[in-house]
Amino acid sequence: MAAGATWVGTSWKMTKTLAESVAYARALAAVDSSRWAGTQPFIIPPATALAAVRDTLGHQSQVLLGAQNAHWEDAGAWTGELSVPQVADAGARLVEIGHSERREHFGETDHTVNLKVRAALRHGVRPLVCVGESDQVFRSGGSVEHVRRQARAALAGVGDPSQVLIAYEPVWAIGAGGRSARPEDIAEVFAALRAEFGSAVEGLLYGGSVTLGNAAQTLKVPAVDGLFVGRAAWAVDDFIALLDHVSGLSA
Ligand code: PEP
């Protein structure tokens, strides 16, 4: 990818059938991606659709493919899990790790996040590490400390984090019940992340209720290298519009 590119990606979470996933990929593949120079698009489909989306996009695609999760072991008796080699085999070049929904509902901890980050790096797959504080922590002024602790734990023992992406996703900003963050709500956390990890990791992204309407102001926050989007990019036309918009900002 181009150095200094703006990352713009979406996780589809637990949405889309195989047919819907392929239709999305087909629409994306039909766009001449040279108009997204300076932007690094990525999509994170459900694991059931990874290989089909990879094949539909084609091997030359500029769009990076990711998995929503992967286990830290390479193989074994872990019923229901997928390993990094398995998701890589299906086309994933990055893996989302530690999303707040996984931390809340599936027992993901700082320790398992760290194991998964190291597993991803062992196999040359970029970890996209999600960190973020609850509303309670935000209101008590503890955001920087909380996020820094999560990020440090995620990267513990990692000698070379140059392939790591960190997505700051305040829990209070994510999903249908979330409220959009204002630039002043997130600036301090990004300053802290930049100070500690900025030159070592591949990128610092913001996620949580990103829309076409607030993308530009979010990208103006110093140290924000990209956007990680949920709902506002689940329709392919909306994702394409966002990619066009962001690419236009840097043109
Ligand atoms: C997310 O859950 O990571 C996310 C960014 O979701 P949304 O954009 O829908 O708030």
Determine whether 169 is an active site residue: yes
Residue in the block written with tokens 């047919």: 19
Active-site position among 99, 101, 108, 146: 99
Tokens of 142: 């503890």
The two three-digit tokens of residue 24, written as one number: 């999305």
Task: Give residue 2's pLDDT band: very low, low, confident or very high (50, 70, 90).
Answer: low
| Ligand 1 centroid, distance to 76 Cα (angstroms) | 32
Give the least confident one: 30-39, 74-83, 150-159: 30-39
Pocket probe for ligand 1: among 12, 229, 238, the residue whose CB has the most ligand atoms within 8 Å is 229
Backbone angles phi, psi at 181, to 5 degrees: -80, 140
User: Would the pTM count as exceeding 0.95?
Assistant: yes
Alpha-carbon radius of gyration of the chain = 17
DSSP string spanning 32-43? Answer: -GGGGTTEEEEE
Strands 226-229 and 203-207: parallel
Distance 179 CA to ligand 1 centre (A): 11
Q: Structure tokens of 244?
A: 């066009």
105 is catalytic: no
Which tokens go with 141? 């002024």
Q: Which domains does the chain have, with CATH numbers?
A: 6-31+40-250 (3.20.20.70)
* Dist. CA 158 → ligand 1 center (Å): 27
DSSP 136-171: HHHHTT-HHHHHHHHHHHHTTT-S--TT-EEEE--G
- Residue-averaged pLDDT of the chain: 96
Q: What is the pLDDT of residue 1?
A: 59
Residue 158, C-beta contacts closer than 8 angstroms, at least 6 positions apart: 117, 118, 121, 164
- pLDDT-above-90 percentage for the chain: 96
Q: What is the tens place of the pLDDT at every residue in 204-214?
A: 999 999 999 99
